[in-house]
Amino acid sequence: MTTQSPFTLKSRSSECAARRGEVRTRQGVFQTPVFMPVGTQGTVKAVTPENLQEMGAGIILGNTYHLFIRPGHELIEKFGGLHSFMNWKGSILTDSGGFQIFSLKELATITEEGAAFRSHLDGSKLFLSPEDAVHVQQSLGSDIMMCLDTCIPYPATRDETIKATDLTTRWARRCREAHTKRERLLFGIVQGGMHPDLRQEHAAALIDIGFDGYAIGGLSVGEEKQLMHDMTEATVPSLPQDYPVYLMGVGTPSDLVEGVWRGVDMFDCVMPTRNARNGSLFTSKGKIAIKNAKFREDQRPLDETCSCYTCRNYSRAYLRHLYKAREILSYHLNTIHNLHFYLTLMADIRKAIEEDSFAQFRKDFYSKLEHE
């Protein structure tokens, strides 16, 4: 089955696989390469939708598993979908819940039919089939929906990997058949563990089914960095060049640079928001731990090259005080900075690709780092 691609290529690097484009959803257009802030439960933690809009976020991520459990997709549908429920004007991608079920494996049982699991909130029995995953995401009003997949642990044997990947293929076919609201995009997820040949075979199987975009799943699950990059590099060339490519759950600023270098268009990760709440802040010179005593009297902004609201208005000393006092404002200001850093990094990457200077950008990015 063929689909019309929502992706438009704008420019391509002559030095690597990096490319600059845009993706059109029913909600509008967002620019790629893109980082999607994670709003698991219908909110990007510690910031408002208006904050995100001001930072230039074109798309955010929600999670099917969490919204299915609380407050429930039926309730959100009554409010006209997640956009109106949370007052977000941009696009929304929803993860299918496969990774959360994988993360809560002691509460879940995977069968051919789907995933039977217990709620992490109250222990109640729940079930999510591939058809359910699509139905829930359609009820949420997602602009980009993900197929339910079986995430493969690391390490796993080749036989375990083949068995789980084949199940993901069968589930992907069922998701495609359940996809009735075609104005919402549906992405397939390439699995295959740490075996390049299995990933390439799985990519071919998903292309045969036909999706609106293709994600690389099952990475950043404990494997070493180089292996993650190698699997990305092995997978991207197997995917259609005229469709968006999404590397799921990745990662650090350097992971984004390396992913773009290898041809990835879309990324998401909880790292900027989670790190912000833990006092770990990203700067152009690397990460800093704001709790450190050396910042007690430091009058400088977090990053003197940063134009975010936090850096324009507050000192490291004040941010350290807020964090040490466990003030709620600490989470807010830190999160604004970290997300702004990520979104600005992606805007700078897009500009470098347009100017065909991404190799130099990558070199400069690493030369500025004192640590990560």
Active-site residue, from 132, 265, 268, 303 = 268
Non-local (6+) Cβ contacts of 104 within 8 A are 117, 120
Q: Residues 6 or more apart from 299 whose CB is under 8 A from it?
A: 315, 316, 317
Widest distance between CA atoms in the chain: 62
Structure tokens at 38: 């994670």
Token reading at 146: 């993900």
Secondary structure (3-state) at 102: helix
Show the CA angle centred on residue 224, arms to residues 221 and 227, nearest 5°.
95
| Residue 143 among the catalytic residues | no
Triad 235, 237, 238: Cα angle to 5°:
65
13, two tokens: 């690097």
Written as one string, the DSSP assignment of 201-237 is: HHHHHHHHH--SEEEE-S-SSS--HHHHHHHHHHHGG
> Which CA distances in Å does 100 have to 107, 134, 148, 184, 351?
10, 16, 11, 22, 35
Cα–Cα dist 215/188, whole Å: 6
Residue 59 CB neighbours (<10 A): 26
Using CA atoms, how far apart are residues 131 and 129, in angstroms rounded to an integer? 5
Considering the candidates 95, 132, 265, 303, report the single residue annotated as catalytic: 95
Task: Please return the burial class of 213, using the count of CB atoms within 10 Å of its CB with bins 0-12, 13-18 and 19+.
Answer: buried
For the chain, where are the E strands, in sequence order?
A: 7-12, 19-25, 28-32, 34-36, 59-63, 91-95, 108-110, 115-118, 125-128, 144-146, 185-190, 213-216, 245-247, 266-268, 280-283, 286-289
156 vs 276: CA distance, rounded Å: 32
Neighbours of 26 (CB within 10 A): 13
Does the annotation count 95 as an active-site position? Answer: yes
Q: Which residues does the annotation mark as catalytic?
A: 95, 268
